[in-house]
Amino acid sequence: MAQAHFDTMEGRGWGFYFLLAILGGFIVAAGLAALYMEHNGHWVTGMSNQIVWGTPHVFAVFLIVAASGALNVASIASVFGRQLYKPLARLSGLLAIALLAGGLIVLVLDLGRPDRLIEAMLYYNFKSIFAWNIFLYIGFFAVVVVYLWMMMERRMNDFTKPAGVFAFLWRLTLTTGTGSIFGFLVARDAYDTAVIAPMFIIMSFSYGLAIFMIVLLAAMRWTERELGDVVFGRLRNLLGVFVAAVLYFVVVYHLTNLYITQRHGIEGFILLHGGVYTQMFWIGQIILGSVIPLVILFSRLGKSRTLVGLAALLVILGGLAQMYVTIIGGQAYPMPLVPGKDASSSFFDGVVASYVPSLPEAMLGIGGIALALALVVVALKILPFLPHSLSDADADPHFKSAA
C-alpha cells in the first residue's frame, strides 16, 4: 500500500474542549472520591473484610487487561506483517499506554496507603505476582514508548519490527501476570486454575479491540476523516473471532469446575443461584457481552457501523460484567473450611458475603476510563497518531469500487 500519512488533529473547536471538559469533570470527581475514601478509611465504601477487592478493582483490572489488548492492532502490523493494519498501529500503541495509565491510577488510589507507593518500588518480594506486575506494568510503558518512537521516527522505522515483537512478547507476559493474580490464589474455589492466565490474554484481545474500534470510529468521524469498509470490515470480523474465543475459554473454565465435585458449590453459585452474580453472568457477560455482539458482527447487521459500534460497546460492558463476576463473585462465595461441615461465625464464615458498590468506588473506576480517554484526546492533538485517511483506496491498493 502507499505510505500512510499521519497528522495531528486540529483540536480547536468547541467539541474538542467540550469533550475534554466532560472527561476532566469525571477525573476531578474520581480524585475527590479517592480523597474521601482515603480520609475516612475504606469503611465508607462497599468493600469489607469479606469483599476486599471491589468496584475499583473491576475497573482497574479491566483497563489493565484492555490496555495490553489495545496493542494488538499494532502487533498485527509489525509482528505479523499485515500492511492493512499499519496505519492503525500508532493509535493502538497510544491507546495501550493510556488505558494502562487509567487502570493503574485506579489501582493505586484504592490502596489502603497510596502514600506509601514508594515502598512498593523499594521492597520486593519476588514470589509475589504483584511484584512481577509492578515491573511488567512500568516496563510496558517504556517498551510501548520505544515502539511508538520506532514507528513515528522515519530514521528508526527499520527497528519497528524487532520493537514490535518485543512489545508483543511483553504484553503476553503482562496479561499472563494479570491473570495469574487470580490463577495462583489457592484459597478460593473460583480461582486457583491455570486457565485464567490464557483466558485473560484472549479477554484482552477482545476488550482491547472493542475499545480501539470505538475510539477509532469516534476519532475518524469527529476529525472528518474517511474510514473505509475494508479496514472497518477486517476489524469487525477480528472482534467477532475474539469474542467467540473468549466464550470458548469461559466454557472450558466452567466445564472444568463442573467436573470437579469440590467446585460444584461455586459453579452453582455463579451459574444458578448467585442472585446478582448469576444475572451479571448470564445477562451481562453471556447475552449482552457475547451472544448479541456475535450476532451483530457475523450477520448482515454488521454492515451498519452504528450496530457494530453498539456491539463493541456491549463487549466492553460484558467485559466489565465478567470482571465483576470474577473478582467480586469469586470473593462473595464463602471459602471452604472443613469439607462436609457448614461453618458459621460473627465474621461471616460460610455465608455469601454481601456487597453493594458505593458511589465513590464507582466514580474512582469511571475516572480511570476518563483519564485514559483524556490522555488519548490530548495526545491526538499533540502528535500525529491518526492516519490522514483510511479510505478503501488508501487501505488496499487492489481495491476496486463496486461500481
Residues that bind another protein (CB under 8 A): 38, 40-43, 48-50, 52-53, 111-114, 116-117, 119-120, 123-125, 127-131, 134, 181, 184-188, 331, 335-338, 340-349, 353-354
Question: Rounded distance, CA 246 to CA 241, Å?
Answer: 9
Minimum CB separation of residue 208 from another protein in Å reads 25
* Complex with another protein: residue 49 or 261, whichever CB lies closer: 49
Nearer to another protein, 53 or 399 (CB): 53
CB of 180 to another protein, least distance (A): 11
Residue among 360 and 387 whose Cβ is closer to another protein: 360
Nearer to another protein, 157 or 344 (CB): 344
Backbone phi and psi for residue 95, each to the nearest 5 degrees, phi listed first:
-65, -40
Alpha-carbon Rg for the chain in angstroms: 22
Which residue, 125 or 401, has its beta carbon nearer to another protein? 125
Q: How far is the CB of 206 from another protein (least distance, A)?
A: 25
Query: In terms of CB distance, is 251 or 337 closer to another protein?
Result: 337
The CB-of-125 to another protein minimum distance in angstroms stands at: 4
Say which residues have a Cβ less than 8 Å from residue 232's Cβ, sequence separation at least 6: 305, 308, 390
Phi, psi of 337 (to 5 degrees): -110, -55
In whole angstroms, the minimum distance from the beta carbon of 344 to another protein comes to 5
Let me know if 216 is exposed, middle or buried by CB neighbors in 10 A (0-12, 13-18, 19+). Answer: buried
CB of 302 to another protein, least distance (A): 40
Q: Which residues contact 266 (CB under 8 A, 6 or more apart)?
A: 189, 190, 257, 330, 333
Closest CB to another protein among 4 and 134? 134
User: In the bound complex, what is the minimum distance in angstroms from residue 397's beta carbon to another protein?
Assistant: 51
User: Grid cell 465478567 — which residue?
Assistant: 322
**Is there a contact between 293 and 314 (Cβ–Cβ < 8 Å)?**
yes
Distances (CA, A) of 115 to 28, 35, 38, 120: 19, 12, 10, 11
Say which residues have a Cβ less than 8 Å from residue 380's Cβ, sequence separation at least 6: 8, 9, 11, 94, 219, 223, 386
Q: Name which of 29, 12, 16, 11 is nearest 369 in CA terms.
A: 29
